[in-house]
Amino acid sequence: MFLFLLVSVPITYLLLLSMTGQTNQPAQVTLIPFVKGSLLFLPVLVAVLVLEYAVPNQFNPGPLYLRYSLLRQAVPFAVAVAGALIVTRGGIRTDLGAATTAVLSFFSGFYMVFGIFDAVVNIGRTDPYVLFLMPAGRIVILLLAPYIVIAAVREVGMPKAAMILANIALPFLLGAVPLLYRVGFRQWALVATVGLLVAAVIVYLRLILQSLPRGHAA
C-alpha cells in the first residue's frame, strides 16, 4: 500500500543518476550528501511540528494554503536548499556535474526519510494524497531542485533572479495540491499533480540534461 510512497524518491534518484551518466561519481558527491540529507530530516521535522502546533488549524482556504505551502513545503525545501549549498560549497562554480549530483543526492536523502516517516505515521490509512500525490510532488522537487538551486548561484542578472524566483515559487506551487485535495477538489488536485510532474519532466529533459556533462565531471 505504501510502496510508491517509500520507493518513489530512491528510484527517481537512481534513475536520474543513470540518465545523466553520474552513477560513477565518488561517494563525496553521492553517498555522503545523501546521508547528510537524511540526517537533516529530524531537526526539520521538529521545527515543522512546532510551527504547526503554534499556528491554529483552520479549515479555510487561506490558512490551509499557508499551512500546506509554507510549513509543509517551503520550510523543508528552504532548509534542504541551505543544506545542499553547504555540502557543495565552492564546487558549484568549478565542477557542475559533481555539484549537481551532490545537490540531487542531498535532496534525495532528505525526502526519502520524509517518505519513511509519512508511511509510519499513516499506517492503516489509505489516503490517496499521502500514497500517491505527495510522493509525486517530491519527484517534481528531485527533477527541478538540482538545476534551479545551482543556477541561482551560478547565473547573473535576470537569469539569476529568475532562478531565485523559481526556488521560491516551487514549494508554493506544490502547496496548492493538498489544498485542492483537502477542500474537496480531488480531481483538480490530481490534474495539478500530473501537470506539475509533466512540466518538471519537460524542463528536466530540455534544460537540465542538455547542460550536464556525461560521465565524470571534468
- Domain containing 96 equals 3-211
- Cα 145 from Cα 103, distance rounded (Å): 8
Could you tell me what percent of the chain has a pLDDT over 70? Answer: 92
Q: What is the mean pLDDT of residues 37-49?
A: 90
In a domain, 81, yes or no: yes
Could you tell me what percent of the chain has a pLDDT over 90? Answer: 62
Between residues 53 and 143, the one the model is more confident about: 143
In a domain, 216, yes or no: no
Is pLDDT at 199 greater than 80 in this prediction? yes
- Cα 113 from Cα 116, distance rounded (Å): 5
Q: What is the mean pLDDT of residues 140-156?
A: 92
In a domain, 218, yes or no: no
Q: Mean pLDDT check: name the lowest of 22-36, 53-67, 70-84, 98-112.
A: 53-67
194 confidence band (pLDDT: 50, 70, 90): very high
* pLDDT attached to residue 54: 77
Vertex 67, ends 84 and 64: CA angle to 5°? 145
56, 62, 114, 129, 161 from 182: Cα distances, Å: 16, 12, 20, 9, 33
In a domain, 200, yes or no: yes
User: What's the chain's average pLDDT?
Assistant: 89
User: Could you read off the pLDDT of 100-141 as tens digits, one per residue?
Assistant: 899 999 999 999 999 999 999 888 888 999 999 999 999 999
- Cα 146 from Cα 80, distance rounded (Å): 11
Torsion of CA 125, 186, 52, 47, to 10 degrees: 80
In a domain, 63, yes or no: yes
Q: What is the pTM of this model?
A: 0.91
In a domain, 140, yes or no: yes
Three-state SS for 125?
A: coil
In a domain, 217, yes or no: no
